[in-house]
Amino acid sequence: MPEDRQALLNGLRNIATQLRIDSIQATSAAGSGHPTSSMSAAEIMAALFFAEMRFDPKRPAALENDKFVLSKGHAAPVLYAVWAELGFMPREHLLTLRRFDSDLEGHPTPILPFVAVPTGALGQGLAVGLGMALAARIESRPYRTYVLMGDGETAEGSVWEAAQVASHHGVDNLCAIVDVNRLGQSQPTMLQHQMEVHQRRWEAFGWNALVVNGHDLGQLLDAFAQARAAQGRPTVILARTLKGRGVSFLEDKEGWHGKALKKGAETEAALKELQAQFVANGVKPVPPAPVGGPPPAPREGLSLPRPPFDKPIATREAFGQALAALGRLDSRVVALDGDVKNSTFTEDFQQVAPNRFFESYIAEQNMVGMAMGMAAEGKIPFLATFACFLTRAADFIRLAALARSNVKVVGTHAGVSIGEDGASQMGLEDLALFRATPESLVLYPSDAIATWRAVELAARHQGLAYIRTGRPKSPLVYSADETFAIGQAKVLRESADDIATVVTAGVTLAEALAAYEELKKAGLVIRVIDLFSVRPIDGNTLRAAARATNNLIITVEDHYLAGGLGDAVAEALGPEGARVVRLGITQIPHSGTAAQLLHAYKIDAAAIVERVHALAPARAR
């Protein structure tokens, strides 16, 4: 072996030893954490960050850097130790791990500039890395993406969603590393160290699968070189490792997952054993510099022209047209589809910007993960599928919120108004999902004009946004010149004689307006509010309406009552003492026409009229 290579290997070995020492010291100081999961990955991290990845350690968030995602986020101590070794933070800062006043949380978060997305909910990192790798293709950027996973998390179906899509797209700038340390949290993993089985599974998904001894730095460097040279398909390095590597009473032992060593004799014994493993004649390597500079400045323009609609059109179709218009204006906008582009109308975007359209197929978790990865690279991703299918991706949506990721989600075919397809295809939980997601924007447009502006507002908004759209054609309520704003409701019918306020959005707005006309014939006048912005909600307008209409509010929604529009209104009015009567879906729905279902579940004009008559007859006189 050439002397310079041996010196490099010796240097990397010493770094790996230091990473183990730092992981133990940090977790022992914290009294909690995952030292053994960090120790198994020490050589992998040393090889990656000090010999393979091309990046500027002084600018960890630079767009030209190679990317790294720690999917096994519980191994955060070893990631933090790497950045201390790189000089980005003082080593003593590692001893603040998990403290309330520290940026070194128990699992990595984007508070740190070298963390793109928070990790810890296992099985999510590969999808995020895939999104990053695909984002590089848009501008032919040379950076590579690396994802470190644990073998236990490969039990998650989302891993294989990402694996098959990465293979299909031939993403050869993506390299996954699986830390096969054999032991899960409570018991050994399914395959343990059956490396040939791990390899066959990844190969079956079309990956270039390499098996190495994960503690042999020479094998790791050779595998990374092979991965870099591979063309037309992604590479996975299956690294056979031992949990707790380097400390005899921890190594490959069960019962140590998520358990810090006790301060005092136990920690001291482990550190003494590790200190003896440093070798002489080692040269500390310097990470290779990134290739090329930052990407060219994108074409930016998030102000849509005047909406083109002059007749009834489904809000899902209006979304497709708005997204295509946005794609023409701004090169940061990308679209992701779940094999429903001819129903969500994302195919309109594909026609105008095919290089920024990504087919995710029927794999909603992976689609959201990919969008997060793209957002981390400065893109503005819009993903669309039927609203009901978003529940499959709830954990990824939660992660996107924790990341404050600039992802835009559009749910189509919302509610019973989709008609004959039946309950399994009806999105009736989506408002609750996104309302419960921290710091999310939730818009619910009622016609094509409102949808056009909702897409524009969501694109401009920095952070997670959700737009709810429907299947049936919706009559035009607004003129093309109408303006909309986040946090603003629209009062469509109002007088000094209003006896109640009806608050609604989406398909039931037309029902509320029809009910207004019917009640007017009987001498009863109601106020009608379109709750375009469900979150943030227009509390001022709602409170003013409640005071003006005898504190009687009726909400109408094509959504289950729990967590929906009615709950949002009730929460906003709670301190005011207003009475909120909620009309919504209260049972598992059935197939039928849209009109039949709106009537059967009492969210149509007739149901509104009936409820107003029941609640406010005396007030009308």
Region 55-63 average pLDDT: 94
The reply to whether 467 and 514 lie within a common domain is: no
The reply to whether 209 and 357 lie within a common domain is: no
Note whether 45 and 19 are within 8 A (CB).
yes
- Residue 295: per-residue pLDDT: 81
- Residue 24: per-residue pLDDT: 98
172 vs 230: CA distance, rounded Å: 7
Work out whether strand 533-535 and strand 441-443 pair parallel, antiparallel, or are unpaired: antiparallel
| Omega of the bond leading into 536 within 30 degrees of 0 (cis) | yes
Residues 473-514 pLDDT 10s: 999 999 999 999 999 999 999 999 999 999 999 999 999 999
42 vs 588: CA distance, rounded Å: 52
| Among candidate residues 145, 120, 115, the one with its CA nearest the CA of residue 132 | 145
User: What is the 8-class DSSP label of residue 502?
Assistant: E
Region 49-54 average pLDDT: 97
Query: What pTM, to 2 d.p., does this model score?
Result: 0.96
- 543 domain residue, yes or no: yes
- Indicate left, alpha or beta for 120 from its phi (over 0: left) and psi (-120 to 50: alpha): left
Work out whether strand 441-443 and strand 465-468 pair parallel, antiparallel, or are unpaired: parallel
Cα 130–133–138 angle (5° rounding)? 125
358 vs 232: CA distance, rounded Å: 17
- Residue 299: per-residue pLDDT: 87
Q: Detail the DSSP E strand segments found in 265-339.
A: 313-314, 333-337
The reply to whether 355 and 498 lie within a common domain is: no
Residues 175-215 pLDDT 10s: 999 999 999 999 999 999 999 999 999 999 999 999 999 99
- 367 domain residue, yes or no: yes
List helix spans (H) across 522-564.
539-548
Note whether 25 and 272 are within 8 A (CB).
no
List helix spans (H) across 416-478.
430-435, 448-460
Cα 315–321–323 angle (5° rounding)? 100
Out of 413, 439, 474, pick the residue that ends a domain.
474
492 vs 513: CA distance, rounded Å: 9
Residues 529-573 pLDDT 10s: 999 999 999 999 999 999 999 999 999 999 999 999 999 999 999
Amino acid at 45: M
Region 89-95 average pLDDT: 97
- Residue 448: per-residue pLDDT: 98
pLDDT at 289 over 80: yes
The reply to whether 452 and 500 lie within a common domain is: no
1 vs 19: CA distance, rounded Å: 25
Residues 236-263 pLDDT 10s: 999 999 999 999 999 999 999 999 999 9
- Residue 621: per-residue pLDDT: 42
The reply to whether 42 and 185 lie within a common domain is: yes
- What is the pLDDT of the chain when averaged over all its residues? 95
- Considering its fold, how many domains does the chain have in total? 3
User: What is the 8-class DSSP label of residue 603?
Assistant: -
Active site residues: 364
pLDDT > 90 in the chain, percent: 94
621 Cβ contact list (under 8 Å, min separation 6): none
273 Cβ contact list (under 8 Å, min separation 6): 246, 247, 248
Helix (H) or strand (E) holding 115: none
247 vs 17: CA distance, rounded Å: 11
The reply to whether 45 and 144 lie within a common domain is: yes
Residues 143-178 pLDDT 10s: 999 999 999 999 999 999 999 999 999 999 999 999
- Residue 616: per-residue pLDDT: 80
3 state SS for 14-79: HHHHHHHHHHHHHHHHHCCCCHHHHHHCHHHHHHHHHHHCCCCCCCCCCCCCCEEEECCHHHHHHH
Cα 96–108–375 angle (5° rounding)? 145
The number of angstroms, rounded, from the C-alpha of 296 to the middle of its chain's C-alpha atoms is 26
- 306 domain residue, yes or no: no
- 287 domain residue, yes or no: no
Out of 421, 442, 474, pick the residue that ends a domain.
474
Positive or negative CA dihedral for 338, 342, 347, 348? Answer: negative
pLDDT at 265 over 50: yes
* Coil/strand/helix, residue 392: helix
| CATH number of the CATH domain containing 602 | 3.40.50.920
The reply to whether 376 and 525 lie within a common domain is: no
The reply to whether 552 and 596 lie within a common domain is: yes
* Coil/strand/helix, residue 278: coil
The reply to whether 42 and 10 lie within a common domain is: yes
pLDDT-derived band of residue 617, with 50, 70 and 90 as boundaries? low
- Indicate left, alpha or beta for 413 from its phi (over 0: left) and psi (-120 to 50: alpha): left
The reply to whether 105 and 249 lie within a common domain is: yes
405 vs 383: CA distance, rounded Å: 13
Structural domain range at position 459: 313-474
Amino acid at 406: N
Burial of residue 285, with CB atoms counted within 10 A of its CB: 0-12 exposed, 13-18 middle, 19 or more buried? middle
pLDDT-derived band of residue 120, with 50, 70 and 90 as boundaries? confident
Residue with tokens 């358990």: 259
| CATH number of the CATH domain containing 127 | 3.40.50.970
Out of 225, 248, 275, pick the residue that ends a domain.
275
* Coil/strand/helix, residue 146: strand
Burial of residue 292, with CB atoms counted within 10 A of its CB: 0-12 exposed, 13-18 middle, 19 or more buried? exposed
- 127 domain residue, yes or no: yes
The reply to whether 450 and 590 lie within a common domain is: no
The reply to whether 525 and 450 lie within a common domain is: no
- Residue 389: per-residue pLDDT: 97
- 549 domain residue, yes or no: yes
pLDDT-derived band of residue 281, with 50, 70 and 90 as boundaries? confident
pLDDT at 575 over 80: no
Residue with tokens 């920095």: 462
Note whether 348 and 325 are within 8 A (CB).
no
- 307 domain residue, yes or no: no
- 300 domain residue, yes or no: no
418 vs 344: CA distance, rounded Å: 13
Residues 449-462 pLDDT 10s: 999 999 999 999 99
| Among candidate residues 245, 122, 241, the one with its CA nearest the CA of residue 193 | 241
Tokens of 19: 């990473």
